[in-house]
A and B are shown apart, each in its own frame.
Chain A
Amino acid sequence: MVTGVETNQIPDLTNPQTFAAGVPHEAFARLRETPGFHWQPTEIATANGGFWAVTRFADIVEIESNPALFASQPGGAWPSTNLSPDPAENPLYNNLMMMDPPRHSSVRRVAAAAFGPRIVKNFDPWVREIVVEVLERIEHLDEFDYILEVAQIIPSFVIARVQGVPAEDRQWIVDQTLASFEAMQTADVNAVGEVLHKTHVYYREKLVPEKLRNPQSDMTSVLIHAAERGEITEAEAYDFLNLLQAAGFETTHTLIGQSMRMILESPEIADKTFRGIEELGPDKVIEEFLRFITPAMFMSRTATQDTVVGDQQVRENDLLNLYFTAANRDPAVFANPDEFDPWRTETASLAFGSGPHRCIGNALAKLELRILFEEMAKRDFRFRLNGAPQRGWSTFINQIRSLPVARVS
């Protein structure tokens, strides 16, 4: 038995151990019920010695809708925070996630042109091709790791295609995505920097010249033409290509992996998934997986002046971590929030954030999971757990690193 005092304590949100056994939803529930925000002390990447943990849905939406008061430039996700406003001292200065209007608006407009919902609908045939390729690879395997063979591969192939990487370089760029992911697990900044540098060189020396010679409808072509027209800078274009790998890989990998883990671990969730797809179509079921899993557990903003928000006095330069994972179970918005229920009628969740930075790849991420479900159903692929799933080691992503499965049909 844990004593009352201990259960009332909020675990250290800066320690991956806190998330090792799962998202600490019980602690987040207590934070949501407590007026104001919880102060998490940390010297790492903060100006004022810690960050505020924001857990209520309405507070997060309010903060994200006001970039003048709650800025992204000092850093979009702790510990990539407390960054200098001087481009010479800030390696992330040209990263879309770390921009505020009007600079954010101009780069985002260019990127949005390649990611709008009507455009992403046309991605269906090639995303399906990728999914089918991946499923054909596992067709002959009786036992395998679903994370390595499916959850990681689909999003990395999809990003390579969005970037317009030619077929002969695809495996190379996928390896770079995986390598930077591995390096990030060890928090080895130099190793991450090295991988990113390699991909930068590749963009500059191979991909971009190729697209200049032979423009296509991919993201790289769109970006370099915008740079030629002076709508964005070349640095902004390169950093956006990198950002796609950082933002679109691990999150989608988590969605694909965790949704399969939930299906395999819980007959009730499996039943609701299959029935839900039949009765409601796949979109509502996928929305509910997104809410329940919330792959990116938070994003960060920095107060630009002293202000009061969510009944909390915050100071200039205070960092706020916006816990989407907590807000997505806010009973003020979702009835029976801890229940997996594709039939729920509430508004869309905060799995993709909100406001001007709301995930630009959201339609694509949902398309990937939908096509995967459809193609597995067509083949009547069924699995069972074949060992213990392993979570990742992260305060940021609701990661799953290993999901051993065996085919049952």
Chain B
Amino acid sequence: MARVIYVQPDGSSTTCAADGRSLMKVAVENLVPGIIGECGGDLSCATCHVFVDEAWFGKLKPRSDDEESLLDVTSEEPTETSRLSCQVTLTDDLDGIVVHVPSTQR
């Protein structure tokens, strides 16, 4: 099991433990506010946008071209460490990863 910490815009956070599933799925299953995942991870809705904590961003596999282009349609302006959380799988080497939930994705 690996843990993931979702941080809300107001600073409150939720820690969830899971493995092998995407950060979007884990968030939706645990009712983390602000991660919607409308398309179920098919990379067509951009409602699973998160800002990955800088310390963790480098540990992730790079974005695909499709993810890159879909980041243009998120509700909040993406940054260098933006990811669509359905594209990030929670593996053991990511135990403790911190991601920030955008305030306008509701």
Residues of B within 8 A of A (CB): 38-40, 42-46, 66, 69-70, 72-77, 104
Contact = CB atoms under 8 A, between A and B. Distances in A.
A116 B70 CA distance: 9
A116 B46 contact: yes
Contacts of B40: 65, 67, 355-356
B73 A119 contact: yes
A101 interface: yes
A41 B52 CA distance: 51
Given A105-B39, A109-B66, A358 B45 contact: yes
Contacts of A108: 39, 44-45
Determine the main DSSP class of A at the interface with B.
helix
B44 A118 contact: no
A112 B46 contact: yes
Interface of A: 65, 67, 101-102, 104-106, 108-109, 112-113, 115-119, 354-356, 358
Contacts of A119: 72-73
A67 B39 CA distance: 10
A105 B43 contact: yes
B42 A356 contact: yes
Contacts of A116: 46, 72-75
A317 B103 CA distance: 41
Given A109-B69, A112-B70, A119-B73, A354 B38 contact: yes
A113 B77 CA distance: 14
A358 B38 contact: yes
Interface centre among B39, B45, B66 (most CB of A within 10 A): B39
B70 A109 contact: yes
A355 B38 contact: yes
Top-3 shortest CB links A-B: A116-B73, A105-B42, A108-B44
